[in-house]
Structure 1
Amino acid sequence: MPKAYISAVAHYVPEKVLTNFDLEKMVDTSDEWIRSRTGIRERRILEPGKATSDMAAEAVKKLCENRGIDPLEIEGIVVATVTPDMFFPSTGNLVQEKVGAKNAWSFDVAAACSGFIYALSVGAQYIMAGTHKKIVVVGGDKMSAITNYRDRNTCVLFGDAAAAVLLEPTEDEDKGIIDFMLFSDGSGADYLKMKAGGSLFPASLETVVNDWHYIYQDGKTVFKFAVTKMAEVSVHILEKNGFTGKDLTLFIPHQANLRIIDAAVKRLGIDYDKVMINIDKYGNTTAATIPLALSEAYLQGKLDVGDLVVFATFGGGFTWASTLLRWGIPKPEKPISE
């Protein structure tokens, strides 16, 4: 049975930058308060009239260019997002059309900030089954579309971005996905959610007036859960496969809060030079954080063929997940600086 490996990676971030100093003019907050509690300096905001599919399509186009393939070679597209352009058709359908992947089926996966790892696990099954040879997995969210910029507790956290990976088969022992671990606990639904817009509370005057179409987060509960579960799943997937933190080349955690990342790093017992962090530049881009960090890590020359990598995440639902893999792309000839 073939293994799935990541044969290409790419990302897209909007040009507009929203800094902490910009937010100081919008809500009662400060640059120092935001940085000390989250590690975020700035985030990217997509322009009005553009949507998640636009960012995702740009990432996929760049992905094809990086791999040197025609979009017609793509057989399937799985998009992880909680900010679809619309409920239906899926964002995956829209991306398929925008990139010209006429031979690909497509659909979305919704698992909040864990969405990319969930989608990656789905895409990998098609490769491992031997039925497909090129599957694109995208993580993308326009979080600015559901962020209340009057809420000082949440508006400082989120940004917009998309990133994509190409999965292909390999028999090479030095590269490929080794394992996934996926978990969920629906009892956490009330602590991190967007209350309205679905079948329970369709859009109405009441839902709009009450701000139910924005992100709601019980920060303390989510923080406690995230610190525990992201650290646990990171250690667990290594132990299950006979590794420790010392064997890791790179740890790529979900970029939600620097203090949560700190806790996971301490639990793994690794040095910070083995941790990819870009939350300071982009904030929490939900399903995009891990592939965005992965793309930047590759471009910066932090990865080479055979390197052991762990992804770990948590999200609303609650959901949490991890992936263990050996990297399969040689270092770029000219790595870029951070």
Structure 2
Amino acid sequence: MTLYSKIVGTGSYLPPKRVTNDELAQQLAKKGIETSDEWIFSRSGISARHYAEADVLSSDLAVAASQRALEAAGLQANNIDLIILATSTPDHLGGFPSTACVVQRKLGINNGGAAMDVQAVCSGFVYAMSVADSFIKTGMHKNVLVIGAEVFSRILNFEDRTTCVLFGDGAGAIVMTASKEPGILAAKLHADGSHGHILCVPGNVNDGAVAGNAYLYMDGPAVFKLAVSVLDKVAREVLEVAKVDAKEIDWLIPHQANIRIMQGTAKKLGLPLEKMVVTVDEHGNTSAASIPLALDQAVRDGRVKPGQNVMMEGVGGGFTWGAVLARM
């Protein structure tokens, strides 16, 4: 029997603290940084974002999103035999123990299943889905919890208005399980390390202390140009593998980074903007959490229905990019 992987439950969580553009502009003004709602929104499409409190970690957001995904899937935590968590803001310096292992403990999973983090920045959730799909198709794992969780507010320089206004915190999760029916129709992943310098956190740890700059750095124009190009190409690659026409895409869920990048991608694919799920206006860029956050919102409000084709794609620092076509 041919095994497939299928998404059977979605969940998401946003920290309660919502910060509008006006509120952020007022905070930045106290530091002598000038910005405004109009300046932020016109360049990004962002109106607000959520920030986690100081004592809240990526794992805490991940657990809340995972519990909702498990409930939607009708599964108990101990039914999960693999956790794959995408994050650029892990709970621990050095990335271990992995945030996936922390989530496993906090969910009370004690069945000896596997858990690991994936680091591909804003493409992380697409990477994690692809890994889960492969594990399920080989029969190695049956029920996989795939999570994107970020507290990006911790790595933002609030004296750099070109980056600090763009990002937010949150988590999204899905449960993928073995199925006799096709779910993940195709996936493609790519990376090009020669572009790593245009979006990065350039610092590192040396002798127990941070050496260099520990804040996020982004060359906005360079990222914009590369993102629009690669997102169109990888989406077409996935369609070709799946033998699906672009017109058969019911919903496009791109990484929620910038509304102009997202609109450019939809236009190149010949998709009406009404077929694109947009949450960047309220969430900002939540990196690896953005796609599952948007997917869960669209599932729960009834837009995404069983049997529909959903194209999910992301691009992030590294430079990484990828896409997954799923039949819900």
TM-score, normalised to structure 2's length? 0.94
Give the alignment of 1:94-113 within 5 angstroms: 94-103=102-111, 104-113=113-122
Cα offsets for 1:294-333 (capped at 9, x unmatched): 0001011112221111111100011010001111xxxxxx
**Higher mean Cα deviation, 63-72 or 49-58?**
63-72
> Which of 144, 152, 164 is residue 143 of structure 1 equivalent to?
152
* Matched residue SS, 1:292: helix
3-state secondary structure, aligned to 1:314: strand
For 1:249-268, what aligned pairs fall within 5 Å after superposition?
249-268=250-269
CA deviations over 1:229-273 (Å, ceiling 9, x no partner): 112212232233332221111010010000000110110111112
Structure 1 residues without counterparts, runs of 5 or longer? 328-338
**Does the aligned pair in 1 maintain the 2:263–2:273 contact within 8 Å?**
no
Alignment of 1:75-224 (within 5 A): 75-86=81-92, 87-103=95-111, 104-172=113-181, 175-198=182-205, 203-204=209-210, 207=212, 212-224=213-225
* Structure-2 separation of matches of 1:253 and 1:305: 19
* Matches of 1:263 and 1:8, distance apart in 2: 30
CA offsets 1:135-171 (integer angstroms, 9 cap, x no match): 1010111000101111100001000000111111111
Partner SS for 1:154:
helix
SS at match of 1:10: strand
Q: State how many pairs are aligned.
A: 319
The aligned residue for residue 306 of structure 1 is 307
Cα separation, partners in 2 of 1:112 and 1:198, compared to 1, 3 Å: farther
Distance across 2 between alignment mates of 1:151 and 1:202 = 26
The aligned amino acid for 1:23 is L
Aligned to 1:63: 69
Distance, in Å, in 2 between the alignment partners of 1:284 and 1:203 is: 28
Q: Distance in 1 between matches of 2:220 and 2:308?
A: 35
Find the counterpart in structure 2 of residue 43 from structure 1: 49
Structure 1 residue 321 corresponds to structure 2 residue 327: no
Aligned-partner residue type, residue 85 of structure 2: V
Q: Is the 8 A contact 1:235 1:267 kept in 2?
A: no
| C-alpha distance in 1 between matches for 2:101 and 2:265 | 36
CA distance in 2, matches of 1:129, 1:198: 38
- Using the TM superposition, name which of 51-60 and 302-311 deviates more: 302-311
State the alpha-carbon separation in 2 of the partners of residues 6 and 47 from structure 1: 31
Alignment RMSD (CA, Å) = 1.3
How far is the alpha carbon of 1:198 from its aligned partner?
4.3
Alpha-carbon distance in structure 2 between the residues aligned to 1:232 and 1:226 = 10
Match of 2:36 in 1: 30
* Preserved contact between residue 6 and residue 177 of structure 2 (Cα < 8 Å): yes
**5+ residue gaps, structure 2:** none
C-alpha separation in 2, matches of 1:21 and 1:236: 41
Residue aligned with 1:284, SS: coil
Give the % identical residues.
40
Match for 1:265: what amino acid?
A
| In 2, Cα distance between equivalents of 1:105 and 1:198 | 28
Give distance in 2, aligned partners of 1:130 and 1:93.
22
Tell me, in whole angstroms, the C-alpha distance in 2 between the residues paired with 1:117 and 1:198. Answer: 28
Q: What amino acid sits opposite 1:179 in the alignment? A: A
The AA in structure 1 aligned to 2:144 is I
What is the distance in 2 between the residues matched to 1:72 and 1:203?
38
- Partner AA of 1:40 in structure 2: I
Aligned counterparts of 2:139 and 2:8: Cα–Cα separation in 1: 16
